[in-house]
A and B are shown apart, each in its own frame.
Chain A
Amino acid sequence: MSSSDIIALCALFVSVAGIWISHRLAKQLTKRNEDKLLLDELLSLLNKLNQLSSNFFLSDRRDRLDTHHFHALFLVDYAAAHYLIQTLRGKRKLSIDIDQDFSNFHRLSTENTEHINSWNTEECLQRYSQINESYLKCMKQIYDTFHQHHKP
C-alpha cells in the first residue's frame, strides 16, 4: 500500500468519524431542544397555577373567584402539569423529583379554602407566601433536572 493510499484511507476515516460525531451532536441538540420545549410548557403551566393562586388568595373578597370555580380552574391545569411531568419522566427519561413539592403546592392551594372569605388579610398573605415557596421549589427542581441531563 502506497503512502497516498494510506492518506486517502485516513481522510476517509476522518470524514466518517466527523459525520458520526456531527450526527451524534445533532441528535443531542434535538433532544435538548425537545426537552426544553416540554419543560417550558410545564413551567408555563406552573406559572399559570401560581397566578391563579395569587389572584385567589390576594384578591379582595368582592373580586375573588368562588372557591368551587377556583378549584375547577386550578385542578384542571394541575392535572395537565402532572401529565406533562409523567411524559418527561417516561418518554423523555428526565427524572424530575418533584412529587412532594408538587403535592405541597396542591395542598396549600386547596386545603380549607372553602371558607377563605372569613380569613383575614394576614392569613391570606401567609398562605400565598407558602404557596409561592412551594412553586419556587418546583421550578428549581425542574431547572436542576434539565441542567443535570443537558449540561450547559
Chain B
Amino acid sequence: MNRVSAQFAIGAIFAGLTCAALSPNNAFAGIDPEASGFRGAIGPLLRSDRGTPPGLKGGLAIEAEAPVVWRFAVRMDFVTGMASQDQLRASGPTLGILPTFRQPLGKGQAPRWALDVAVGPTLWFGKSTWWEGVYPGPFPGFRGVGGVEYRPHSIVAIRAEGGTDHNYGTLPLLNGSAHGWDARLLVVARQPTNP
C-alpha cells in the first residue's frame, strides 16, 4: 500500500467509526457531555510547504464543530489563502470536513484539558499565481490533525493544533501534489454541555 492509499485508509476508518457510532443500537450511542458540544474556533496559523527556499506563510483558520455521538464530532475546517511555496505559487482557500475524536483528560464534570485527533477530506481552491488559466482547482485531498485544548472557562477555551495537508492535482501541481504542515493557535467558543 503506498503512502497515499494508507492516508485515505485512515480517513475511511474514521468515517467508518463515525457511521458505526451513529447506529442507535451501538454501545457508543449518546453524546458524552465532557467531550462534545457545538463549538466554533478562530485563530492564526503558520504553514510550511515544500519550496526553494523553504519558508513559512501565515493564514487564518476558522473551524466549526457539531457533536455526533459519544466523543465523536464532525468539524468543518476553513483556511484562508493556503499557498504552495513551489514556483507554481498556487494559492487559495481550503475547505475540509473532518470526523473528529476528542478525549477529555482528567476526572470530574469539567476537565480542563482535552486531546483530539481528526482526519478527513478537503478541497483546495488554489490557483497558480503565474498560470491560473490551466490550474482552476479545486484540488481534492485530505487533512490530518492532532490538537490539545485548555478550558479555563465554561465557554471559552484555547486550542493548539498541528496538522498536515495533502492535495492532489494529478500532473499540473508540482509532482502532482501539494503538501505541507501547519500549526494553529485557536480561540474556541464552546456550547456549555455540562448540567
Do A and B make up one complex?
Answer: no
